[in-house]
């Protein structure tokens, strides 16, 4: 293990004492959950107590399974008496990533996303945007501290790296692979596979029924508009589902969630860059972007009213299709009778 990581873990340790009460704040997903687990293990017996708190609602079945199977205790930030804590750590995010993060003076920030332009006076800051996962950084910390991860901690970190690098199909560097190989020796692979396979809930069936019964196919692209949805995860699941079909090169699934039109895109990565296309077409209506083969947009409904009738499913679907191709007249609607 490099002296750099040894120096970093020692500097991290120097920030805490036995009387500290530490709150780790995350936007819960596999990478942040596993990384927070690692921080908690690193601080074990070095502080009075450590609590992991999530700012978001956890609804994805795989995330729920991860928390349950790995025995992770999370407390939503709204239920935490923050004045009981004197040290705050943010993992796999940065303070300007969400309004809920902005109320604290952080002792440490550890992340793999692009370095924020915000100038913060934080005692410890380790941001490595070249890494594919924060879990890889935390694995290096564990090794530098000479801590052998428990099977559950190793499984969480292992699964987090798999998830954030999309099985190394997305951005990753040698350090991610080295961390993955190290964790493989300590993780419960069967448990990781069980977490990975739990991605459906019974209340998703109605949305799948709509997606199967009513979709639009146009030149190897498939489009589904679900109307009002209760959970944006369903768009991701259906978009991935349709990419399994032969000859389908693009899958575009949309739904209206609260005051936004959410559009999730998957493609085979051979031609157009999905992230660039989404940013170009939908960035002016809200947030949009992603990777070459997977992307997402969240367009504010109010900003779309000049473009299409958002209350008319047919018009809205036609407008979405038109953003992806100039051949929407060739679209063929497939509807089960």
Residues 19-63: tens digit of each pLDDT: 999 999 999 999 999 999 999 999 999 999 999 999 998 988 889
Question: Does 96 or 52 have the greater pLDDT score?
Answer: 52
Residues 279-328: tens digit of each pLDDT: 999 999 988 888 888 899 999 999 998 899 888 888 998 999 999 875 33
Residues 258-272: tens digit of each pLDDT: 899 999 999 987 878
Q: Which domains does the chain have, with CATH numbers?
A: 3-197 (3.90.1640.10), 205-335 (3.10.310.30)
The answer on pLDDT for 335 being more than 70 is no
Question: Across 19-23, 62-66, 235-239, which has the greatest mean pLDDT?
Answer: 19-23
pLDDT at residue 332, rounded to an integer: 46
Q: What does pLDDT average to over the chain?
A: 90
How far apart CA 167 and CA 133 sit, in angstroms, is 11
Q: How confident is the model at residue 119 (pLDDT cuts 50, 70, 90)?
A: low
């Amino acid at each position: 293990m490099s002296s750099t990581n040894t120096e970093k873990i020692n500097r991290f340790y120097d920030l805490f004492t036995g009387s500290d009460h530490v709150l780790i704040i995350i936007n819960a997903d596999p990478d942040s959950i596993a990384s927070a687990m690692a921080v908690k293990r690193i601080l074990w017996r070095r502080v009075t107590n450590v609590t992991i708190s999530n700012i978001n609602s956890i609804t994805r079945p795989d995330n729920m399974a991860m928390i349950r199977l790995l025995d992770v205790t999370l407390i939503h930030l709204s239920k935490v008496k923050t004045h009981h804590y004197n040290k705050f750590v943010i993992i796999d995010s940065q303070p300007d990533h969400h309004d809920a993060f902005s109320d604290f003076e952080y002792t440490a920030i550890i992340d793999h996303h692009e370095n924020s332009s915000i100038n913060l006076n934080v005692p410890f800051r380790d941001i490595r945007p070249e890494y594919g996962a924060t879990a890889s950084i935390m694995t290096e910390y564990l090794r530098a501290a000479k801590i052998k991860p428990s099977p559950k901690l190793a499984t969480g970190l292992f699964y987090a790296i798999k998830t954030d690098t999309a099985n190394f199909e997305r951005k990753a560097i040698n350090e991610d692979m080295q961390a993955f190989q190290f964790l493989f020796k300590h993780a419960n692979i069967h448990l990781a596979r069980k977490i990975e396979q739990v991605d459906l809930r019974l209340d998703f069936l109605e949305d799948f029924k709509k997606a199967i019964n009513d979709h639009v196919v146009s030149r190897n692209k498939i489009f589904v508009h679900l109307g009002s949805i209760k959970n944006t995860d369903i768009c991701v699941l259906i978009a991935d589902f349709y990419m399994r079909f032969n000859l389908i090169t693009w899958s575009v699934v949309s739904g209206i969630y609260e005051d936004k039109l959410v559009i999730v895109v998957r493609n085979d990565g051979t031609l157009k860059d999905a992230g660039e296309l989404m940013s170009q077409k939908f960035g002016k209506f809200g947030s949009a972007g992603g990777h070459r083969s997977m992307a997402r947009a969240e367009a504010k409904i109010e900003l779309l009213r000049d473009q299409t009738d958002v209350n008319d499913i047919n018009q809205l679907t036609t407008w979405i299709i038109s953003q992806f191709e100039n051949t929407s007249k060739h679209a063929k609607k497939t509807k089960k009778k």
